[in-house]
Structure 1
Amino acid sequence: MMYLTVQSFIEDYENESMATQRLLDALTDESLRQEVALGYRTLGHLAWHLVPNGSMLDQAGLRFEVPAARNEPPASADIIAQSYRFTTRSLIEAVRTQWTDETLQETNRVYENPWKNGLTLSIFLRHEIHHRGQLTVLMRQAGLQFTGVYGPTKEEWAAFGMAAPAI
């Protein structure tokens, strides 16, 4: 899917980033050290990776404020959540003011591929959704409670007085 209008991206991204923000707000400093397995990204690395850093969108010519580059994620879950909140607002404002429906049809080289800007926005958002799914697995392993994204969590089903459906 490629975005054809700026407004359609903004609406999707506002909804998806709210879901991501709820998860990031549920993190604790201690949980940031959770690993899926030895030698893999920690929950902190994955959460920090979700904070837009501009790389993909920068290659497409979109400019917005991002946190200072760091090799290691902050040790504070609150800083990660605040950085995500600030950066997503900056990104939305940049799309709103720098691009038009017509510029979504323009092609730029992103990761050495000729992508239309509307495709770049779509891939950017899917990238976040992909990593958000990974984030929920690590959050579960860390023992954190969080709200469902596209449906209730097991705990939310229980609060409804129902068993979670078997998959």
Structure 2
Amino acid sequence: MSIKDGFLVEIERETNNTRRIIDRLKDEDLSYKPHEKSMSLGELIGHVVELHNWVGAALIKNDFNLQTDYQPLKPTSVAELRKALDEGYRTNEEVISNFPEDEWFKKWTMRYGDHVISEMHKLAVLRFVIHNHLIHHRGQATVYLRLLDIPVPGLYGPSADERQ
């Protein structure tokens, strides 16, 4: 199995997990904030979706400047979240399918303006900057669901809501 074949499986499964959360939401849930310092649920799950979509947007570059290359997703509806996730998945699948094996080991730089935030191989970018980051925020979103009394889907096995 090649690196890209492994990531294609992971991208499909993680996208499906995010879709399972989005499918439980209603438009009115997007404005929920558990605390004044917290992001709204719409901002949070929007960030999760945009992180998924960094596979096709950020990974193809060698230098990713948050100041100029990053446009936050600000969803106004659940339908918009679904559409962005689905369109992004198709792009991600195409990018990874055509990603040359040696490209995984090229250096990638994340910066804000002239300030370098991080430098790593693209292999690490997909794992650390994209997937681990989105999984972290998706976990936060499941807490929001619990606080809203929305049944939490099992993402890596049955949830307490699915076992009842």
Q: Please give the TM-score of this superposition, normalised by the length of structure 2.
A: 0.79
CA distance in 2, matches of 1:70, 1:109: 19
Greater RCO, CA 8 A, separation 6+: 1
Kindly report which structure 2 residues correspond to 1:70-149, keeping only aligned pairs within 5 A, or say none: 73-97=74-98, 99-111=99-111, 112=116, 113-123=118-128, 124-149=130-155
Kindly report which structure 2 residues correspond to 1:17-32, keeping only aligned pairs within 5 A, or say none: 17-32=15-30
CA distances 1:47-106 after superposition (whole Å, capped 9, x unpaired): 1111225364365369xxxxx9457x2221121122111112212211222x22211011
What value does the CA root-mean-square deviation take over the aligned residues? 2.3
2:108, 2:119 within 8 Å by CA — same for their partners in 1?
yes
* Structure with higher strand content: 2
Secondary structure class of the residue paired with 1:102: helix
> Percent of pairs identical after alignment?
25
Q: Which runs of 5+ in 1 are unaligned?
A: 63-67, 159-167
Secondary structure class of the residue paired with 1:147: coil
1:34, 1:141 within 8 Å by CA — same for their partners in 2?
no
- State which structure, 1 or 2, has the greater radius of gyration over its C-alpha atoms: 1
CA distances 1:9-43 after superposition (whole Å, capped 9, x unpaired): 11111111111111112111111111121232010
Identify the residue that residue 67 of structure 2 maps to in structure 1.
none
**Size of the alignment, in residue pairs?**
148
1:104–1:146 Cα change, 3 Å: same
Moved more, 73-82 or 13-22: 73-82
* Structure with higher helix content: 2
